[in-house]
Amino acid sequence: MWNRIFALMVKEFLALLKDRKGRLVLVVPPLVQLMVFGYAATFDLKNVPYAVYSEDRGYVSRDLLAAFNGSSNFTLIAHPGDEREIAPLVDSRKVLMVMRIGPNFSSDLSSGRASTIQIIVDGRNSNTAMLVVNYAATIVQKFNREWAARHDAAIPVHIETRSWFNPNLESRWFFIPGIVGLLTLLVTILVTALSVAREREQGTFDQLLVTPMSPLEILMGKALPGFLIGILEATLITLAAVFWFEVPLLGSILTLYTGVFLFLLSAVGVGLMISSIAVTQQQGLLGAFFFMVPAIILSGFATPIRNMPTIVQDLTLLNPMRYFLVVLRGVFLQGTPFHLLIPQLWPLAAIGIASLAIAGWLFRNRMY
């Protein structure tokens, strides 16, 4: 039995690797994606283009502007001299933010009164808008603190902020472990989902059926290559994450691979489920898509599961990616020990076994 499975595995690998394009597709795009997305997927804002409309000539407003200029988050690109120039700057997306300083700003402050500055933000992307407001508020608050210190105002309370696991709050550290999961899923599903459909379309599946191989053997011969490729893919991307992007890998490798192994059970299972239903490769691809997009979107990859409506949150309990991401981020950044990840690992195992069982059943029933 193992001989036959092994022979089929060799054949699968040959079919995947026989032409140069097929080989390249397995290695190059995932790495290119890791590079591009590793640098692009970030909520850190840099060089936010902004304009200042100031009617005040006093020294305080100059100090405040210097504080904004000194920040790498903002780049001053316009200095409108007229109020009517503000709207066109924002509308045409030349600036994301306009700061308005009124005529009495410095004199108000010098005589001990509070003064207000206005911040106008382009809300087309509401998330970016909120971040811009936060950055501006941070600069203003720091300015206020220094002002209070210079003017001998006793401050009864101050905040000492420390962020654990990601001291500089780098967005990249959050996203790259997620990308390890995303690309592992992508490659594994594509390899397995199209494997049977391709044989069906080329008519070679019938030939496979007249061999002495049992359905279970064919299933295993199809599943194991996907599994091996998934493990290699995960290893490749983990290495790039650690050595290229220098994301810390604090936890144990064994815990990480337990997660990868259990996750691949589900990925291969779902891929084979799609494969046994699809008649053409186009259908297989479509099936892969209909699984992958929700699996990624509802996993907490980019937006927290907490923000979703309750029904959708319950639905995510069926999504293997959800658990895998917690394992990945935990092992990479927090060094979470194995026993704290068991609540994530057992659902992964359960979903994996269930999906492989369903794939096996579908295989037997859809084969002839």
Partner 1 sequence: MSMRLNGLIRKEFLQIMRDPSSIAIAFLMPLVLLLLFGYGVSLDSEHIPLGVVVEAPSADSSNFAAAFPESRYFHIVHFQDTHQAVESMMAGRVNAIVVLKQDFPKRSRQPDGAPVQLILNGVDENTARIISGYVDGALQKWLEHDAAMRGDQLHSPIRMAQRVWFNGELRSRNFLVPGLIAVIMTLIGALLTALVMAREWERGTMEALLVTPISMNEVILGKLIPYFILGMGGLALSVAMALWLFEVPLRGSLWVLFAASALFLIAALGMGLLISSVAKSQFVAGQVAIIGTFLPAFILSGFIFDINSMPGFVQAITHVIAARYYVAILQTLFLVGDEWSVILPNAAALVLLAAIFLGITWKKTRKRLG
Using CB under 8 A, which residues numbered 184 to 213 contact partner 1?
186, 190, 194, 198, 201
Q: Where in 139-168 is the site for partner 1 (CB under 8 A)?
A: 140-141, 143-144, 147-148, 151-167
Q: Between the CA of residue 323 and those of 72, 155, 255, 276, 290, what are the distances in Å? A: 36, 45, 13, 26, 19
DSSP-derived secondary structure for 242-262 = HHTS-----S-HHHHHHHHHH
x-or-dash pattern for partner 1, window 260-279, by CB under 8 A? Answer: --------------------
Nearest to 64 by CA among 72, 75, 73, 54: 54
With beta carbons less than 8 A apart as the criterion, state whether 181 and 324 touch. Answer: yes
Please choose, out of 222-230, 259-267, 307-315, 354-362, the segment that lies near partner 1 by the rule CB under 8 A.
307-315
With beta carbons less than 8 A apart as the criterion, state whether 190 and 56 touch. Answer: no
Residue 124 found at the interface with partner 1 (CB under 8 A): yes
φ and ψ of 268, to 5 deg: -65, -40
The nearest distance, CB 8 to partner 1, in angstroms, is 18
Residue 303 found at the interface with partner 1 (CB under 8 A): yes
Residue 130 found at the interface with partner 1 (CB under 8 A): yes
The nearest distance, CB 212 to partner 1, in angstroms, is 28
297 or 353: CB nearest partner 1: 297
DSSP for residue 367: -
Measure the CA–CA gap between 322 and 312, rounded to whole angstroms. Answer: 13
Selected from 70, 304, 339, 368, the binder of partner 1 by CB under 8 A is 304
Amino acid at 117: I
Q: Where in 3-32 is the site for partner 1 (CB under 8 A)?
A: 19, 21-22, 25, 29-30
276 or 283: CB nearest partner 1: 283
Q: Where in 321-350 is the site for partner 1 (CB under 8 A)?
A: 326, 329, 333-334, 336, 340
Residue 133 found at the interface with partner 1 (CB under 8 A): yes
Residue 34 found at the interface with partner 1 (CB under 8 A): no
Residue 312 found at the interface with partner 1 (CB under 8 A): yes
The nearest distance, CB 231 to partner 1, in angstroms, is 19
Please choose, out of 4-12, 207-215, 260-268, 287-295, the segment that lies near partner 1 by the rule CB under 8 A.
287-295
Sheet containing 74-78, strands listed edge to edge, beginning at the edge strand earlier in sequence? 74-78, 48-54, 97-101
β-pairing verdict for 97-101 and 48-54? parallel
Helix or strand (DSSP H, E) at 50: strand 48-54
Residue 111 found at the interface with partner 1 (CB under 8 A): no
Residue 107 found at the interface with partner 1 (CB under 8 A): no
With beta carbons less than 8 A apart as the criterion, state whether 65 and 51 touch. Answer: no
With beta carbons less than 8 A apart as the criterion, state whether 319 and 298 touch. Answer: yes
Residue 248 found at the interface with partner 1 (CB under 8 A): no
